[in-house]
Structure 1
Amino acid sequence: MALPRQPARARLLRAADALFYERGIAATGVDAVIERAGVATGSLYKNFSGKDELVAAYLDDRDRRWRDEWESAIAAAADPVARVLAIFTATERWRDDVGLGRGCAHIAAANQLPSDHPGMAVAVAHKRHVVERLTELVAAADIPEPAATAGDIALIYDGMLGSMAVGLDPDPINRARRITYTLLNGGR
């Protein structure tokens, strides 16, 4: 028995996710997304006002899925420090399930979009959430200066994603995890 087809919006988001991430937002036209999704042109405009709204929805959907993955890793962690380090566990899972060969989709989008593009607000909100959630986790682990420490971890995290995009480090996730663990333990 064949599985039921997903609604057009879900197929468009899945196609946009694959194409915008792999080829880039600027290099991918809506016709390619429509073709990949296997929908009629009208389906795009029934669900989104145009490419700008599709880009914002793609980034928002990716953010939502990432948050779910990260929260799952946090919930499975055994202690407060492990909950901080769960960002790297979630990243490993995301890499294995979704792929991270091009680094962070939100940073890539920010590099391609004008500052007033609706997708830029989603990219900024994604990065803001990472820092805010890390701040909560660091505070719960009784680490001094939680906001500053969370900012340092976010920088390590983004550097790790950048390293993944260029492929120079053979194991950037575990390297970032180790650096963060050292940071959380006062540099020891």
Structure 2
Amino acid sequence: MVKAGARRPARERLLDAAEELFFQHGIAATGVDAILRRAEVAPATLYAHFAGKDHLVAAYLQRRHERWRATWDDALDRCGDDPDARALSVFDALETFQSGAGARGCAFLAAAVEVTDPEHPAYRWLAADTQLLDDRLRALAEAAGADDPGALAAELLALYDGALAARTRRAVGDDGGPAPLPCRVLGATAIARHRA
């Protein structure tokens, strides 16, 4: 009998294994052997697709970045032309993106602790995530009529980071921890305050 994971191409199984293990245990703490076992591939298969572990880390973050961006794009599409809803769409996207049982925290913030060398192949995806958040939140804050779009964008980003941290705390708590922060509500209050 063929296992369900075996039907996926080897490259996808490697990325799935890397995502699960890197996010759960950290990049440095996850050895290539653990990824190979989880993906059920031979070492030659890994090196046929990636130049090494660093390039696998980069591909994992690239795939995650592309999924996050697509999720946020979908959330923006659902908002129509409502500038306030569009500025708050980051919270809607986060709710969709992290709706799984094991969802917690931010893969990019976790990876940024370990990938600090700008020459590392994964570094560009850490920068891309930061750039997407900064640029998009500022543009959305401006479209929402903020008197200081940079300040509103920074506040929305702080709330977004708080929402990620709250998810992590709930994921590691025995009873689920405290209720999630009402970040979308706080964001709406911030938008109104920055327009006043």
Question: Which residue is equivalent to 2:79?
Answer: 77
Which residue is equivalent to 2:8? 6
The answer to whether structure 1 residue 48 and structure 2 residue 50 are counterparts is yes
SS of 2:164's equivalent in the other structure is: helix
Aligned to 2:189: 182
Aligned to 1:171: 180
Shift of 1:68: 0.4
Name the SS of the counterpart of 1:144 in structure 2. Answer: coil
Q: CA deviation at 1:77?
A: 1.1
* Seq. identity, %: 40
State the alpha-carbon separation in 1 of the partners of residues 165 and 42 from structure 2.
Answer: 36
Amino acid at match of 1:85: L
Aligned residue among 145, 148, 162 for 1:142 = 145
Determine if contact 1:109/1:120 at 8 Å carries over to the other structure: no
Q: Residue in 1 aligned with 2:112?
A: 110
- For residues 124 and 28 of structure 2, the distance between their equivalents in structure 1, rounded to whole angstroms, comes to 17
Looking at structure 1, the residues matched to 127 and 166 of structure 2 have their Cα atoms a distance apart, in angstroms, of 20
2:127 maps to amino acid: V
Amino acid at match of 2:75: A
SS at match of 2:41: coil
Counterpart AA for 1:22: Q
CA separation in 2, counterparts of 1:42 and 1:98? 33
2-structure distance, mates of 1:39, 1:154: 39
Q: Residue 84 of structure 1 contacts residue 137 of structure 1 at CA under 8 Å; is this kept in 2?
A: yes
- How many Å separate the matches in 2 of 1:164 and 1:40? 35
CA contact (8 A) 2:163 2:180 kept: no
> The residue matched to 2:7 in structure 1 has which SS?
coil
Deviation at 1:26, TM superposition (A): 1.2
- 1:113–1:119 Cα contact (<8 Å) kept: yes
Could you report, residue by residue, the CA deviation over 1:33-91 in whole angstroms, capped at 9, with x for unpaired residues?
11111212111101111000101111111010000001101100141111111111111
- Deviation of 1:118 (Å): 2.3
- Describe the shift of the 1:58–1:98 C-alpha distance in structure 2 as closer, same or farther (beyond 3 A): farther
TM-score (norm 2): 0.86
Deviation at 1:99, TM superposition (A): 4.2
Displacement of 1:152: 1.8
Moved over 6 A (4+): none
Partner of 2:30: 28
Return the letter of the residue paired with 1:12. Answer: L
Q: Is contact 2:54–2:121 with CA below 8 Å preserved after alignment?
A: yes
CA distance in 2, matches of 1:127, 1:154: 10
Per mean C-alpha deviation after superposition, the further-off stretch among 62-71 and 77-86 is 77-86
**Secondary structure of residue in 2 paired with 1:118:** coil
Gaps of 5+ in 2: 171-176
Gaps of 5+ in 1: none
The Cα shift of 1:171 comes to 1.3
Q: Any conservation in 2 of the 1:114–1:120 contact (CA below 8 Å)?
A: yes
Deviation at 1:139, TM superposition (A): 1.7
Q: Give the Cα separation in 1 of the matches to 2:178 and 2:72.
A: 23
- In 2, the alpha carbon distance for the partners of 1:17 and 1:27 equals 13
